[in-house]
A and B are shown apart, each in its own frame.
Chain A
Amino acid sequence: MGEFTEMTAAFSAISRFVDRRQRFFFPAPAVAVLFLIIVLPIVFNLYLTFTKWTVGLGQPQFIGFDNFVEAFGDERVWNGVKVMVYFSGASLALELFLGLMIALYFNRAFRGSEAVQAIYIIPFAATPVAVALIWRIMLNPEIGVINYMLTSIGLPPGLWVSSEHMVVPTLVMVDVWKWTPMITLIVLAGLKSLPQDPYEAARIDGANPLQIFWYITLPLIRPVLIAALMLRSLDNLKEFDMIYTITQGGPGIASETLYLYSYNVSFGFFKAGYGSALMVVVFLVVLVFNVLMNRLRRDASAV
């Protein structure tokens, strides 16, 4: 009997303890999972950054900042930065420009505009690797349909991704084809939410359509443009599946972005320490770019 009371007392003490700390107990499983799949890999990656470790050959060795020093002198790193700036600069600029233009076009309702918009969205909705595979086949200089079409109308065939000089522009073209619709969608939503009366005021004030675009639409839509650019840049700066599927960074290293190089270092050469360090560099580039953009966006939306 005495034992029973003691047990009951112990149970109720435990249950009181749990009750009072519900806010810790209930999220605990989720926190544990997040810790395992997000925090731990990041921490491990940061740790590897300071080590020399070839996967499968012994333990990671602590080498301080040597990986970053090595990266600084690595020509392939500089090539990667160059390709990244070239590819991302060109594709982001084109996507933003075309996205805005097409959004402006779609913003004026016309017969069948909904159907056209639906078709226009398809590239954006398609699976990236599948899209890349099909482009790779189409771009093949020997059997690809693109050269077939060019030659059949009397134009010279191109080497496309087989040419050192044409590979990045070609990848930019594919990226623009796939992702401009996303920018369009975001900008179109922004355009539709703009106030209408300033436009009438501007017409009365004497502005022509070009002036209305320049003085009214562009400033008003700027925060949306920057937000779309940020969103797109997150993926674009570490574009992987499309480039990897089509060129694997080739020919040679002509389309090897920093991100692709860090992948090759880690999973091609199994140099996990150095690869991690390069990954951190990519991360810093994305971070700095977006912090700058966000500041720009805040200035722009402070109307």
Chain B
Amino acid sequence: MANVILKNLVKRFNSVTAVDDLSLEVHDREFAVLVGSSGCGKTTALRMIAGLEPITSGEIFIGDTLVNDMDPKDRDIAMVFQNYALYPHMNVRENLGFGLKIRKFPKAEIDARVQEAADILGIHDLLERKPKELSGGQRQRVALGRAIVRKPKVFLFDEPLSNLDAKLRVAMRAEISKLHRRLGATIIYVTHDQVEAMTMADRIFIMHKGALQQTGVPMEVYAKPANRFVAGFIGSPAMNFIDATLVREADAWYIDAGEFKVKAPAAFNARLEPYAGRQVVFGVRPEDIAAHDPAADARAGNTLTARTDVVQTLGAEIFVYLTCGAHSLVALMEAPEQTLTEGQRLDVDLKMVKTHVFDRETSQTIV
């Protein structure tokens, strides 16, 4: 097993910079998830680690070896592709064993490893079938199996679940997590799905426009996003952003959005100080908006009056799309006893300590 280090990695396609000065370290045995919207450079970065894409500049280390000029076959990696990339003319057994056969493993060893992988993935019955006789989920397992038999230092996953239906995807997420624990391998997993990233990762690496935005364990990037992009990308439904101005009044800082004004918690004060009177973006997650509690302290200054636009019932929870003048907000609340109707007035409380304020120019987090 091994760690993977990227140093100032750059990839340009003609005039387009796909990966821009990317530096990161994935620890030994870590499940690292590279996440970002499509075109953010995550797959290109992965393909450079695999050796499928030449590097424009920068360095890649696997273990302690500089692999920049190494062929993929010499990097001791295995990759699971989005489209599975199975060999269509070989049956499952041959697909699994191909890498070992090429590496001149003895027949008995190949058989044993194929058996082992088939055991782990439960694909015994499929060994004699051709890929086209398999369902998407089964092909996915075979693609995983082909990586497992090689017992590589590092596993690379390129959006392996994005072609599966929603239910299967949830099941495979758990399986891949289990597999990671069982193999104790270093995994670099690329996805655009932040739910996959949150549920599977030891650490998340969030990319945007070719550059790394933030690194951290899932709860950390959720609770303390480094900038507005991360704040909006992690969490579902996405954080609400409202343009506002910071104003200082006698007792405290206020976030003034025109249609409403809420009081910032005292803990924010020191950070907000330099932004007095400045244009900011106020961020509040849907789950931090709750129906107004009449028993609460009226001086908290965290209540705003809105109008319901659309109400969607999930069961235990509801999505409420609110409008507050020109602003719109999504709230995720517990289903109230009285059914909400669309177009009614609704007072809501914001959990102010969980909210964020971003610099409108740099998009960096202020608090």
Contacts and interface: CB of A to CB of B under 8 A. Distances in A.
Interface string A257-283: 000000000000000000000000000
29 contacts: A195-B85, A197-B81, A198-B85, A200-B52, A200-B79, A200-B85, A201-B79, A201-B81, A201-B86, A202-B102, A203-B51, A203-B52, A203-B72, A203-B73, A204-B52, A204-B72, A205-B98, A205-B146, A206-B99, A206-B102, A207-B98, A207-B102, A208-B73, A216-B87, A219-B89, A220-B88, A303-B88, A303-B89, A303-B132
Interface in A197-249: 197-198, 200-208, 211, 215-216, 219-220
Contacts of B146: 201, 205
Contacts of A204: 50-52, 72-73, 77-79, 99
* Interface majority SS (helix, strand, loop, mixed), chain A: helix
B281 to A, nearest CB: 41
Contacts of B85: 195, 197-198, 200-201
B130 A303 contact: yes
B103 A201 contact: no
Nearest to A205: B99
Given A204-B79, A205-B150, 11 more contacts: A197-B85, A200-B79, A202-B98, A203-B52, A203-B73, A204-B51, A204-B52, A205-B99, A206-B72, A208-B73, A219-B89
Interface in B225-280: none
Contacts of B130: 303
A219 to B, nearest CB: 4
Interface string B133-158: 00000000000001000100000000
Interface string A127-162: 000000000000000000000000000000000000
Nearest to A219: B89
Interface residues on B, range: 20 to 34
A166 to B, nearest CB: 41
A75 B99 CA distance: 56
Nearest to A197: B85
Contacts of A208: 73
B86 A206 contact: no
A220 B130 CA distance: 13
**A205, A211, A215, A303: most-surrounded residue (chain B CB, <10 A):** A205
Nearest to B149: A205
Contact of B73 (A206, A216, A220): A206
Contacts of A206: 72-73, 99, 102-103
A127 to B, nearest CB: 40
Nearest to A211: B102
**B81, B84, B85, B88: most-surrounded residue (chain A CB, <10 A):** B85
9 tightest CB-CB pairs across the interface, nearest first?
A: A197-B85, A205-B99, A206-B73, A201-B85, A303-B89, A219-B89, A206-B102, A203-B72, A204-B79
Interface string B340-364: 0000000000000000000000000
A295 B320 CA distance: 64
Contacts of A220: 88-89
* Interface majority SS (helix, strand, loop, mixed), chain B: loop
A266 B150 CA distance: 67
Interface string B202-235: 0000000000000000000000000000000000
Contacts of A216: 87
B87 A201 contact: yes
Contacts of A202: 87, 98, 102
Contacts of B72: 203-204, 206
B136 to A, nearest CB: 15
B83 interface: yes
B71 interface: yes
Interface string A35-69: 00000000000000000000000000000000000
A112 to B, nearest CB: 20
A200 B47 CA distance: 10
Contacts of A303: 88-89, 130, 132
Nearest to B99: A205
A233 B352 CA distance: 81
Contacts of A207: 73, 98, 102
B218 to A, nearest CB: 28
A200 B98 contact: no
Contacts of A211: 102
Interface string B165-204: 0000000000000000000000000000000000000000
A203 B128 CA distance: 24
Contacts of A219: 89
Contacts of B78: 204
A268 B212 CA distance: 84
Contacts of A205: 73, 98-99, 102, 146, 150
B103 A198 contact: no
Nearest to B81: A197
**B50, B71, B78, B89: most-surrounded residue (chain A CB, <10 A):** B89
Contacts of B51: 203-204
A200 B81 contact: yes
A198 B132 CA distance: 14
A65 to B, nearest CB: 46
Interface in B64-105: 71-73, 77-79, 81, 83-89, 98-99, 102-103
A287 B132 CA distance: 32
Contacts of B71: 203
A203 B99 CA distance: 9
A300 to B, nearest CB: 9
B15 to A, nearest CB: 20
Contacts of B81: 197, 200-201
Interface string B287-327: 00000000000000000000000000000000000000000
